[in-house]
Structure 1
Amino acid sequence: MSTAGVLLITVPTVAFGGVSLLRFLMRNVPGYLDNPVRRGLWRAGHAHAGVLVLFALVAMLYVDQAALPEGVKALVRTLMVAAPILMPLGFFLSVARPRDTRPSGLIWLAVAGGACLAVGTLTLGIGLVV
């Protein structure tokens, strides 16, 4: 299965997440609307998921054009797919319980996703410039 195919399969899950957040707002679900930390992190998680999936899809178009060894290309693909998974997971899971008012240690997943994004895009950029 191609990496782009996997990314495309995730798009409906991002859309479902958006519908879920909308439902929380419309139904005034306890632990969401009344919890600004949870609401903010979940909105950030949803936004990052959507943007990073699209960004990764665009980046996949350039990986084969980069002057990089095949193993490095595979690494770039993996890093670009990891970012839209890890970063939102960190936002969502760090405040998974409705009463959480501070992010747990799982917020570091967002940092790991950011690191994957940085390394993947930097490596791809270098491969395209060289």
Structure 2
Amino acid sequence: MTYEAKLMSGITLLTIPTIEYGGYFLLTVLTGKFQKMEFTGFQKSMFRAGHAHAGVIVILSLICQLMADDATLPVGLNWLVRAGVPTAALLISGGFFACALNKGATKPNGLIKLIYVGIFVLALSLIILGIGLLR
């Protein structure tokens, strides 16, 4: 494992407690123990989606760090991949949470755009990595 992979993997692993806290928050919301605020079905669904996407994409980003070591890419593109996948995890999961934060929300607010930006960053990063691995 290269220094770059270790660095980015270490940083990414440090984000996992926030995902764990998100799971705790989601559990309290879904079990009705978070009584300070009433959440709509839409909000609960968006919170579920945000939590799930965070976990899955963070795991993917750790795997991509190892694959980036073997990709034949210029340094700049290699760093784009290394940073792009974990950034996409933040954008996509953050977008799900942020777009449902308005009290009593039943539809997404303008912050849903974060999800689309994250999808683009993730797709671009994975395509570049895939091409680098096929070279």
Q: In the comparison of the two structures, how many residue pairs are matched?
A: 128
Which amino acid is 1:8 matched to?
L
Find out whether 1:24 has 2:29 as its counterpart: yes
Q: Which residue of 10, 19, 30 maps to 2:15?
A: 10
Deviations 1:64-105 (A, max 9, x none): 210001111011112112111000111000111231111011
Q: Which residue of 90, 93, 99 maps to 2:95?
A: 90
Q: Which residue of 40, 55, 58 maps to 1:50?
A: 55
Structure 1 consecutive aligned stretches of length 4 or more whose deviation exceeds 6 Å: none
Distance 1:5 1:80 in 2: 14
Written as runs of structure 1 = structure 2, the 5 A alignment for 1:1-130 is 2-26=7-31, 27=33, 29=35, 30-32=37-39, 35-130=40-135
Which amino acid is 2:22 matched to?
G
RMSD: 1.3
TM, length-normalised to structure 2: 0.90
Deviations 1:47-73 (A, max 9, x none): 000000001001110112100011110
Whether the 8 Å CA contact 2:29–2:44 is kept in 1: the answer is no
Which amino acid is 1:88 matched to?
S
Whether the 8 Å CA contact 1:63–1:124 is kept in 2: the answer is yes
Deviations 1:8-29 (A, max 9, x none): 0111110111011111122164
Whether the 8 Å CA contact 1:38–1:98 is kept in 2: the answer is no
Distance 1:31 1:121 in 2: 38
TM, length-normalised to structure 1: 0.93
Task: Point out where structure 2 has 5 or more consecutive residues left out of the alignment.
Answer: 1-5
